[in-house]
Chains A and B, each alone.
Chain A
Amino acid sequence: EAGVTQFPSHSVIEKGQTVTLRCDPISGHDNLYWYRRVMGKEIKFLLHFVKESKQDESGMPNNRFLAERTGGTYSTLKVQPAELEDSGVYFCASSQVWIQEQFFGPGTRLTVL
């Protein structure tokens, strides 16, 4: 069984540019989560999808971040325009049922210069 995959693994962009991160959850997992780890800090929850619906987006930092999950399969997280403080590692996780274990992807390391 394939695990959670994320693309790209690394992205380096300049301040003001746009970046789109992609996450493919484990097949059949309705629950998809985005997290972010800024260097030196803890991993922080951003949002939670159940199928294509946003269940909880309480962790999204501001309106420069837009997450979508069309068709309830893969998800994208767009940052527009990117700021320096957006640098960090963005993790995606999925689970079959909300209460169950979350399986994490390898993360996308975003560097904003």
Chain B
Amino acid sequence: AQSVSQHNHHVILSEAASLELGCNYSYGGTVNLFWYVQYPGQHLQLLLKYFSGDPLVKGIKGFEAEFIKSKFSFNLRKPSVQWSDTAEYFCAVRGSGGGADGLTFGKGTHLIIQP
């Protein structure tokens, strides 16, 4: 069965600090990887995704993530965070060769940016 582990449940940073949120997954085959974000009072929305190709993917709002196959990791990064990045971030995986049709999510990371 697939599983996703997000290392930090709560992260507090000051504006302009660099961000890295860890995500490791467990799955025996080819995967599609996602980071979703939920801003306060808003829907879950896609930040970025990896299907194949360049393992460094860029998303919206200056976020990027790197897929490291040997480490089963897909960490999210942003060089300089803003107060508006305060949100809950979810890493998700889906097996592209079978298994359940839906996404498997991690437990989420609450990110708080202090002005």
B65 at the interface (CB under 8 A from A): no
Please, which residue of chain A has its CB at the minimum distance from the CB of B3? A42
Looking at the assembled complex, report how far the CB atom of B33 sits from the nearest CB atom of chain A, in whole angstroms.
Answer: 12
User: In the complex the two chains form, is A44's CB within 8 Å of B105's CB?
Assistant: yes
Partner-binding segment picked from A15-23, A78-86, A100-108: A100-108
Q: Which residues on the A side are within 8 Å of B100 (C-beta)? A: 45, 56, 58-59
User: In the complex the two chains form, is B43's CB within 8 Å of A3's CB?
Assistant: yes
- With A99-B32, A101-B49, A106-B43 in contact, is A55–B101 under 8 Å at CB? yes
- With A101-B46, A104-B43, A105-B43 in contact, is A43–B101 under 8 Å at CB? no
A69 at the interface (CB under 8 A from B): no
Interface string of A54-80 (1 = CB under 8 A from B): 011011000000000000000000000
Looking at the assembled complex, report how far the CB atom of B68 sits from the nearest CB atom of chain A, in whole angstroms.
Answer: 22
B84 at the interface (CB under 8 A from A): no
Q: Which residues on the A side are within 8 Å of B107 (C-beta)? A: 41-42
Q: Which of A33, A58, A59, A104: most chain B Cβ within 10 A? A: A104
User: In the complex the two chains form, is A45's CB within 8 Å of B101's CB?
Assistant: yes
Q: Which residues on the B side are within 8 Å of A43 (C-beta)? A: 90, 92, 103, 105, 108
Q: Interface size on B (CB < 8 Å)?
A: 23
User: In the complex the two chains form, is A48's CB within 8 Å of B105's CB?
Assistant: no
Q: List 15 A-B contacts (CB under 8 A).
A: A3-B43, A4-B43, A33-B101, A35-B103, A42-B108, A45-B100, A45-B103, A45-B104, A47-B102, A48-B102, A56-B101, A59-B102, A99-B32, A104-B45, A107-B43
**Known A55-B101, A104-B45; further 13 A-B contacts with Cβ < 8 A:** A4-B43, A33-B101, A33-B102, A35-B105, A41-B107, A42-B106, A45-B101, A45-B102, A58-B100, A99-B96, A101-B34, A102-B46, A104-B36
Report A's interface with B, CB cutoff 8 A.
3-4, 33, 35, 41-48, 55-56, 58-59, 91, 93, 98-99, 101-102, 104-107
